[in-house]
Chains A and B, each alone.
Chain A
Amino acid sequence: MTMSGLHRTHALSWAFLLGCSGLAPLAASAHDMKMDMGSGSALGASAAFDAHGRLWLVSARGEHVVLQHAADPGTPLGTPVVVNAKPEAVYATGENRPKIVFGPAGEVYVQWTEKPAAGWVGDVRFARSSDGGKTFAAPITVNHDTALATRGFDSLAVAGNGDVVSAWIDGRDSVAAKAAGKPYAGFALYYTRSTDGGRSFAPERKLMDHSCECCRTTLAQLPDGGIATFFRGIYGENIRDHAYAVLPAGSHPAHTQRATFNQWQVAACPDHGPGLAIDAHGVRHAVWYEAKGGPTIWYGQLDPGHVPKHLLRIGGPGASHADVAVHGNTVWLAWNQVDPQGYALMLRRSDDGGVHFAAPRNIATSTRAAGSPQLLLRGAHAYAAWNTADGFRLIDTEAH
């Protein structure tokens, strides 16, 4: 696909500077603005709408996670608030990025991975604000285990009962096996939850041995308020399919099941995790990447233990980092598509619960680097958040 002639004015999109030194208020407007953030900046950022429809953005700026918000999608983002007062190595490259979710009483929860430059180490870090994001308590480390091991590709969600749920890829079992001279494929998926509004987290539990090492994990809320996870695992001899599980509270056992069966066998780091959105009927809408027969992005409805239903190949060569959102019977899919000229943000929409999708639409382009897109719901309306080297954009999916 070429992108010539596809540049458009997006009525509800804007860009602003990221990655600059200093934390002065950043320029923004209600239209696309091209502002240089420099090719050296990490593009890992997350956006979310809160219960009042306000847009929030967390991003990494040097050794700080910063938070901004806007009253509605058409107004500029405000002055950045520093989440971690004490500098630390914020991991915001590849599929790592700071996360933001909201508690039932308006708490603002931010999570990221701290990864020192040297060595295979890292910690999952978390900070909470109880004053609407004006200030944050000192960050805490979510993982109780302090063994020197890599941790990252974290995900964060709030359950229906207000529990804060966190999951991540953890290398501790690989380190231990190596020290014992035993083989161990990949890393492992660990999770925990906070029942006190993010003030503390229970000791983490292992969900599954042999996760993929470097693909983002994802969490989604079930109709009953529970939280499910979908992530890439390693099956047999380096088969990189995906696992699904509902994350149990307390000491209840988890039931993890293989949920994709593409049989992509490779001793490699795809750096390409899946997406999951669960509708009011419990249908598990998912997107994922595999390359058994060449690069492919799939949509499907998970049927754990079996091949997903309504499988649809939505992207081939040059397609990457898909996301999915659902509201009622409407399902949106977004992904990056590259060609020699640069990046296009692609969108497909289904109005029958993911059984059929309209043709792909190009809703934004960038000639410079672009991060993974995120689909955000504001009521029944879907927006795409897209962080590019020219700035952050919020794109109204219905305006195209």
Chain B
Amino acid sequence: MRRWIFLALLTLAIPALAQTPMLQPLAASDIPALLKPPAHGTRIIAIWALDCAYCEANMQTLAKVVEAQPDRYQLVTVATDRYALHAQITARLTTMHMNAYPARAYAEASPEHLNFLLNPQWGGETPRTELIRADGSRLGISGELTPAQLRRIR
């Protein structure tokens, strides 16, 4: 009986887990894989921070882009706050309704090194949007996306 209850609970839990990826630390050694061009379409890296006043709106804009064309885009959120703050980061992602997307947080205690590895032409301001396209081309944009910038993404 207990086994059946356990299996029933597990069956219920699997879809929930699938929809709520665990926040993962992002170390320097993880960045080449994150920046590797996807097999098709575009990977959008939505970089944000707990202190950022513009990040929620930017991420939700990007989420709409992805939701409109899920076969063309994949979205990954990256918090520049250190992973030790994972409880706060996870809570904020939930509040922002961004917890359905793969999420990373910096594994280092200061952000500049990982900022540089993600894009040396970026000085750390958030929000930052990095697009990695299947053809190997890239586009990085600082700040909340303007309608004109959004058109460039689409």
Interface residues of A (CB under 8 A from B): 39-43, 93-94, 117-118, 186, 213-214, 238, 266-272, 289, 291, 294-295, 317-318, 320-321, 336, 338-340, 342-343, 368-371, 389
B116 touches A269 (CB 8 A): no
Q: Which chain A residues border B142 with CB–CB below 8 Å?
A: 266, 268, 291
Alpha-carbon distance between A21 and B52 when the two chains are bound, in angstroms: 29
Q: In the complex, which residues of chain A have a beta carbon less than 8 angstroms from the beta carbon of B115?
A: 338
| Chain B hits for A186, CB < 8 A | 53
Is A343 within 8 A of B112, CB to CB? Answer: yes
CB of A269 within 8 A of CB of B53, answer: yes
Name the residue on B nearest A94 (C-beta).
Answer: B51
Contact B113 A40 (CB under 8 A): no
23 A/B residue pairs, CB under 8 Å, sorted by A: A41-B109, A93-B81, A94-B51, A117-B87, A214-B51, A214-B52, A266-B143, A267-B144, A267-B146, A268-B128, A268-B144, A269-B51, A269-B126, A270-B123, A270-B124, A271-B51, A271-B125, A291-B123, A317-B116, A318-B112, A340-B28, A340-B116, A340-B117
Asked whether, in the complex, the Cβ of A318 is within 8 Å of the Cβ of B109, the reply is no
A-B contact count (CB 8 A): 113
Give Cα A48 to B80, complex, Å. Answer: 29
Decide if A272 touches B82 in the complex (CB within 8 Å). Answer: no
Contacts of A295 in B (CB 8 A): 121-123
Does B107 lie at the interface of the complex (its beta carbon under 8 Å from any beta carbon of A)? yes
A339 neighbours in B (Cβ, 8 Å): 116
Smallest CB separation, B146 vs chain A (Å): 8
Chain B: number of interface residues, binned into ranges: 35 or more
Q: Which of B82, B91, B125, B144 contacts A270 (CB 8 A)?
A: B125
Is B73 among interface residues, defined by CB-CB distance under 8 A?
A: no
* Cβ contact within 8 Å between A369 and B51: no
Q: Which residues of A contact B120 (CB under 8 A)?
A: 317-318
A336 contacts B112, C-beta separation under 8 Å: yes
On whether A268 and B88 interact (CB within 8 A), knowing A42-B109, A317-B116, the answer reads no
A65 to B55, alpha carbons, bound, how many Å?
30
A317 vs B117: C-alpha distance when bound (angstroms): 11
The answer to whether B112 touches A214, judged by C-beta atoms less than 8 angstroms apart, is: no
Closest 10 CB pairs of A and B: A40-B84, A295-B123, A369-B109, A266-B143, A268-B143, A267-B144, A369-B110, A268-B125, A270-B125, A369-B108
**In the complex, how many angstroms separate the beta carbon of A243 from the nearest chain B beta carbon?**
18
- Give the distance in Å from the alpha carbon of A291 to the alpha carbon of B128 in the complex: 13
* CB of A366, distance to nearest CB on chain B (Å): 9
Known: A214-B52, A340-B116. A389 touches B123 (CB 8 A): no
